[in-house]
Amino acid sequence: MSESDESEDAAVSTASASGENPPVRRLADWNAAALRDLEAGYGSPLYVLDLDRVRENHARLEAAFPDAEVMYAVKANALADVLEALLAAGAGLECASAGELERALAAAESVPPADGLDPDGSRVHYTAVNPPSADLEYAVETAAEYPGLTITAGAEDTIDRLAERGYDGRLCLRVNPGVGAGHHEKVETGATAKFGVPAERAVSVLADAAERGFDVVGVHAHVGSGVSADQLEAHREFVSRMGDLARDVVHEVGDLEFVDVGGGFGVPYDADEEPLDLEAVADATRTALGEVGARLTIEPGRYLVADAGVLLTRVNTVKAARDTLAVGTDAGMTTLLRPAMYDAAHPIRNLATDADDRETVPQTVAGPICESSDVFCENRPLPHSERGDVLAIGNAGAYGYEMANHYNSRPRPASVVAEGDEVRLSRVRETVADVTRPERTAREQNEREAGGNAQPRIERS
Ligand SMILES: *Cc1c(COP(=O)(O)O)cnc(C)c1O
């Protein structure tokens, strides 16, 4: 056993190695020494994603929802490693764009279905939200090659545009149920006009689509992110409306393959917040849905990847401000946008070997971006930071790298994935040359065209 003990020491988490599958991995459960080594080896800022934890999260969801189909919402973390691990575990993939669809189908090609058949797209859904024409064209072309692909439309317009392109394949309708849930107004989608067709129009829209030859396979809604224990009532209400709707559709239009109630399974961002009681949510979902004669589908994104990831960042500035200790880090809102965009309070841990011996003082941890919203926490009690410390920011596996951007001409960070006691680079660190490439390429193109009578070009999308 001593050999495996040694390798467990090197793993990024001590919790997983025990073979248990706790409902949440806290920032304290990560191995500080292993994370410090990663920062030393790969530099800062650095995203770390533990694939073993992604598999654990999937296994818990499957255990709670044994009869449901789990479609992972790719937008939470689109790394090929994540998509392949989840496909291999039996999940499907839900995509929000042509780019995600391309990634999902590539992953499906490299992880053949368990039944040994060729990938036919049946493990992939494309959910079109105000789809640009190029996205629809890609989806329709792709569906010709992968007839198992399901396209979810959220507007009659989208159905018309699919028909215009000759598509009459598998169609699901996204409805707007008129109830929302979510931890922040910006992630409530259930009552926002942008998403879905008002539920009361669903039957007529689907009847019409069926008449036009579409293969109507499902109804869908996603009411927002952050379904939590205290919102169980709202969840019940929403799912029961979906059950009623599905029965209406089956009665008026025809059989459905699935009823998709979306994602939104919450994870605790505060260290003292209780994890979601999955069994209770699963129970409430089953009861509220009732008998529909179709498979239940869920689309978790965050739940599968959030606590599997941390962001490592180095402290570069420590100064006494008026009411707080101001701590500057090399990661900022361009690296992890959620605190600036959603007021998300990610846990922060100082990985210094002597952190536990330091005085705890209120600190405001902020990044290098010239924006007052570029702040990870305000006046939070933490061990007194020192320049050179490495901080770990927890729950960074979902909507972390995916929302990273180039504002302030900041290159995006590197990322690594961990599996067992092995770690590999999953994205190289960008350079400023990566940030300036589109502009340099444009200049080169302009120069090539100068001399000829260069006309301004507007590419329609
Ligand atoms: C974002 C999204 C999800 C996943 O949401 P989470 O909160 O990450 O679980 C699922 N379905 C759709 C349609 C989405 O847009």
Q: Flag whether 178 is in a domain.
A: yes
Strand partners, 99: none
- Beta pairing class for 215-220 and 325-329: unpaired
Q: 19 and 137: one domain?
A: no
Backbone dihedral angles phi then psi of residue 173, each to the nearest 5 degrees? -110, 125
Mean pLDDT lowest among 9-13, 29-33, 388-392, 428-432: 9-13
How much distance in Å is there from the Cα of 273 to the middle of ligand 1?
Answer: 22
Is a pLDDT exceeding 50 seen at residue 1? Answer: no
Residue-wise pLDDT for 316-356, tens only, equals: 999 999 989 999 999 999 999 999 999 999 999 999 999 99
pLDDT above 90: percentage of residues in the chain: 84
Do β-strands 414-419 and 170-176 pair in parallel, antiparallel, or remain unpaired? unpaired
d(CA 213, CA 251): 18
Task: Give a yes or no: residue 450 inside a domain.
Answer: no
**Residue 441 belongs to some domain of the structure:** no
What's the gap in Å between 50 CA and the centre of ligand 1? Answer: 21
What residues act catalytically? 370
Q: Which two tokens mark 332?
A: 């900022």
Query: Could you tell me if residue 67 is inside a domain?
Result: yes
Please state, in angstroms and rounded to a whole number, the distance separating the CA atoms of residues 387 and 390. 9
Q: Is 265 near ligand 1, meaning CB less than 6 Å away?
A: yes
The upper half-sphere exposure of residue 6, i.e. CA atoms within 13 Å in the direction of its Cβ, equals 2
pLDDT at 7 (0 to 100): 38
- Is 295 in the same domain as 351? no
Q: Which structural domain range is residue 406 located in?
A: 3-48+306-427
> Reduced to 3 states, what is the DSSP secondary structure of residue 380?
strand
| pLDDT greater than 70 at residue 182 | no
- pLDDT of 345 reads 94
Domain boundary among 304, 333, 352: 304
Q: How many domains does the chain have?
A: 2
Does pLDDT of 313 surpass 70?
yes
89 shares its domain with 32: no
Q: Domain ends where: 273, 304, 335? A: 304
Percent of the chain residues past pLDDT 70, beyond the cut: 91
Q: Report the pLDDT value the prediction gives residue 286, as an integer from 0 to 100.
A: 95
Same domain, 276 and 408: no
Is residue 62 within 8 Å of residue 21, measured between CB atoms? Answer: no
CATH code, 109 = 3.20.20.10
Q: Does one domain contain both 327 and 258?
A: no
List, as one string, the DSSP characters of 129-192: SS--HHHHHHHHHHHHH-TT-EEEESSHHHHHHHHHTT--SEEEEEEE-S----SSGGGB-TT-
Q: Please tell me the predicted confidence (pLDDT) of residue 454.
A: 56
Identify any residues that bridge with 218 across adjacent strands, giving them in sequence order: 172, 258
74-96: per-residue pLDDT in tens? Answer: 999 999 999 999 999 999 999 99
Q: How confident is the model at residue 314 (pLDDT cuts 50, 70, 90)?
A: very high
Residues 31 and 116 in one domain: no
225 lines ligand 1 (CB under 6 A): yes
**Residues 209 and 109 occupy one common structural domain:** yes
- The verdict on the CB of residue 367 being under 6 Å from ligand 1 is no
Instruction: Write down the pLDDT at residue 250.
Output: 98
Gap from CA of 403 to ligand 1 centroid (Å): 14
What confidence tens digit (pLDDT) does each residue in 407-450 have?
999 999 999 999 999 999 999 999 999 999 999 999 999 999 98
Enumerate residues 6+ apart whose C-beta is below 8 A from 152: 125, 126, 127, 128, 171, 172, 173, 174, 218, 220, 260
| pLDDT for position 189 | 61
Would the pLDDT of 461 be above 70? no
* Residue with the two structure tokens 């007529």: 204
Ligand 1 pocket member 426 (CB < 6 A): no
- Average pLDDT of the segment spanning 215-221: 98
Mean pLDDT value across the chain: 92
Q: According to the model, what pLDDT value does residue 5 have?
A: 37
Ligand 1: residue whose CA is nearest its atom 13: 222
* Mean pLDDT (whole number) for 26-31: 96
- The answer to whether residues 96 and 197 belong to one domain is yes
Residues 248, 209 within the same domain: yes
Give the pLDDT of residue 179.
Answer: 66
Please tell me the predicted confidence (pLDDT) of residue 140. 98
